[in-house]
A and B are shown apart, each in its own frame.
Chain A
């Protein structure tokens, strides 16, 4: 009885209510609808609460047949766009970077979502060896993305793409140790993706990069929340490989937190999930991290076995930096096993390599490992030339003033033969932090 009365009282035309609901009603109509709703019209209130009022649900089968016929043309166009992008990309990669910029700036033939994807894929691949090149490739993708005709693609696709590119730009800045720029790019990415289509792979990747950036900023609780969110989405989408990548990131967060057992567990799981065919470099990084975590957790024998199994891959990889990292790892494992002579030889090889490659923080960290070895064997007099060498390298390479000052303190302590294992551990921790916080001052506690 009441329902019937409520319907009789309704005097509002259906399209007025629809416009109001979509936020498209002009002010005069909005006011009419508000007055009407406040008068208690049940049928209009029910219409505006469709979640509660839906009685009939759609069976998607007939829709899918209709949709397939409607999207057939789009599929053909996208396939053709992909084929063209492959062809353009093959030629594009042959040119040096300045020529690539000229081509991009002067030709509209690169303006496609598929070509922007090629640039993004190349950018992600370059992040391991050359973060500056990765940044450049992502910036090229952005140039393409802002020129795309948004109407040519699905709703929100242009925002999604730009959001993903900004997230990759943020990650490239992180990898180049420019954390303020990474933070700002990350905020832009989040804003664009919020306005986008809600594509979950893009969202998962944003969380993944957020975790990496927060980890570098040592905001570890936030990093952990972000990485768990990214894992959850990858699991929902059944992408084991990318979930494995997130697990590896989680392991690094645990490692910085000092929770080495969890780091080993996460790396082990990551190794089981990462597909070496899909990303051999990531797989290699995971195997290296696994051995490193075993070593940090004190499992020297297992770490040595894993390293022996991995050695041919290090050598095959052939990259100088990778081989230096292998020597460093090997030196630390040998030290842990009590084999001081061979440990010293490996650490020396790594130190000389990092110095000649002008990579100061790695050189300093290896030198501290060597210092620990000297201190443990009572060879404190050998710390003096080592500290002096490091100070010279840091000053020559123009490393941040505060980091140089810390090494000068090390040199002074070495001269006074006052270096302790506690001091070395604090300096090691400081060097890990000062890379992401350039103004940080070293103030050792007694």
Chain B
């Protein structure tokens, strides 16, 4: 059995990258990758190509296809980091992170505003998670979901809550103070 890549010229890489450059640009555009991160993503792609070259049948298709995968993964990971940060911050707060009573009340009120915008299912999930401090298995038991089901619901509801928090408009008094 032979591996896919049999006929490689030693100076093939620059010419190959030159050829696929317009397609890579289109992927960057389509996935709306910020300029400051595109360099790193491209470099990781090229290193990955060099490591896997033996297995690659069509280098152009592999580079463009893999770049699409990596760009999708880039957003998925960024999104996950953000959702986890917001979830962690809420749990810290509810565990008594904010010393001042007034601040704590403000935060709870603002958080309730965001939660009120969610679906009934997510509101129930969030109330058990943040209101009663339940972990996922306990929420699953209480709401009658399976182990895998609760993972999906947890991820969807935390996603939705993050979206709500990011779309909060400032209250009028904030403008007046500013």
Q: Which A residues fall within an 8 A CB radius of B?
A: 5-6, 8-9, 20-23, 25, 27-28, 30-31, 33-35, 37-42, 45, 48-51, 54, 56-61, 63-64, 66-68, 70-71, 74-75, 78, 82, 113, 117, 121, 124-125, 153-155, 157, 197-201, 203, 233, 236-242, 277-282
Contacts and interface: CB of A to CB of B under 8 A. Distances in A.
A393 B139 CA distance: 56
A124 B85 CA distance: 43
B111 interface: yes
9 contacts: A21-B81, A33-B85, A37-B165, A38-B110, A39-B174, A40-B169, A63-B43, A70-B43, A279-B1
Interface string B1-23: 11110000000011001100100
B171 A9 contact: no
B58 A238 contact: yes
B70 interface: yes
B39 interface: yes
6 tightest A-B CB contacts, nearest first:
A40-B170, A38-B110, A238-B61, A58-B38, A34-B89, A30-B89
Nearest to A125: B1
Given A64-B42, A197-B70, A51 B32 contact: yes
Contacts of A54: 32-35
Interface of B: 1-4, 13-14, 17-18, 21, 24-25, 28-29, 32-35, 38-39, 42-44, 46-48, 50-52, 54-58, 60-62, 65-66, 69-70, 72-73, 75, 78, 81-82, 84-86, 88-90, 92-93, 97-98, 103, 106-107, 110-111, 114, 165-171, 174-175, 177-178
Contacts of A60: 21, 24-25, 28, 38, 42
A185 to B, nearest CB: 20
Give the dominant DSSP class at A's interface.
Answer: helix
Contacts of B33: 54, 57-58
A30 B44 CA distance: 30
B85 A157 contact: no
B53 to A, nearest CB: 8
Contacts of B103: 35
A201 B44 contact: no
B46 A82 contact: no
A34 B13 contact: no
A56 B33 CA distance: 9
A23 B167 contact: no
Contact of B57 (A8, A117, A241): A241
A30 B38 contact: no
A201 B110 CA distance: 46
B13 to A, nearest CB: 7
A200 B93 contact: no
